[in-house]
Amino acid sequence: MSNKIKMIVGLGNPGGEYEQTRHNAGFWFLDELAWQWKVSFKEEKKFFGEVARANLPGGDVWLLKPMTFMNRSGQSVAALAQFYKIKPEEILVVHDELDIPCGRIKFKLGGGNGGHNGLKDIQARLGTPNYYRLRLGIDHPGDRNLVVAYVLNKPSAEHRQQIDEAIAKSLKAIPKIMAGEWEEVTRFLHSK
């Protein structure tokens, strides 16, 4: 598994009313990464999102925030991937995850979508589940009927701090992710 990551996607919803909601944890991560890498996002209509290009020693890496709304994220991901001939296994998708406690992180290649509409659409558009996922835990409200309202609302101050800490920890793993050191990435991110 020596795939180089050439594209990092942060999932979220566009618009001020969604900016601080749990579902936008992927956007929060990407904003921090762009700041660290000193790159800026600009709107790219042909990719249905905001895009930044990071010129790294190992080659260009594209950062993408789909502006399609969550359930059509794949439209944006597939457009950029096809244009730059980026394979699914060269893509890292960063997203909020209900099935992980708040502040915890999971990293994996492939697998199911856990009912996450953004992942469902990406898998459908790419034709495979075999892309990397960085899953930022946001907790579950306990009742599946409450999920939509839960992900589209602001986390408590305590939960926001836990998510921000998970993002900070995930950013520390980025050099290892970019180097393809998957076992070390997993060990580091899955530890408390």
Q: What percent of the chain has pLDDT over 90?
A: 92
140 is a catalytic site residue: no
**For residue range 105-120, what is the model confidence (pLDDT) as tens digits?**
999 999 988 889 999 9
Q: DSSP character for 20?
A: T
89-117: average pLDDT: 94
**For residue range 161-184, what is the model confidence (pLDDT) as tens digits?**
999 999 999 999 999 999 999 999
Contacts of 4 (CB under 8 A, 6+ apart): 58, 59, 90, 178, 180
For residues 173 and 74, give the distance between their C-alpha atoms in angstroms, rounded to a whole number. 25
pLDDT at 48: 97
Q: Where are the domains of the chain?
A: 7-190
For residues 119 and 48, give the distance between their C-alpha atoms in angstroms, rounded to a whole number. 16
The model's confidence at residue 192, banded by pLDDT at 50, 70 and 90, is confident
**For residue range 24-61, what is the model confidence (pLDDT) as tens digits?**
999 999 999 999 999 999 999 999 999 999 999 888 99
**CATH code of domain 7-190:** 3.40.50.1470
Closest CA to 72 of 30, 124, 4, 145: 124
DSSP H stretches of helix in the chain: 25-37, 73-83, 117-126, 147-151, 157-178, 182-190
Catalytic residue among 23, 95, 116, 190: 23
- What residue numbers does the annotated binding site for tRNA cover? 18, 69, 71, 117
pLDDT at 3: 64
Q: What percent of the chain has pLDDT over 70?
A: 98
Please list the residues that pair with 65 across neighbouring strands: 50
Integer CA distances (angstroms), 102 to 64, 78, 87, 167, in order: 24, 29, 31, 11
For residues 50 and 63, give the distance between their C-alpha atoms in angstroms, rounded to a whole number. 8
The model's confidence at residue 1, banded by pLDDT at 50, 70 and 90, is very low
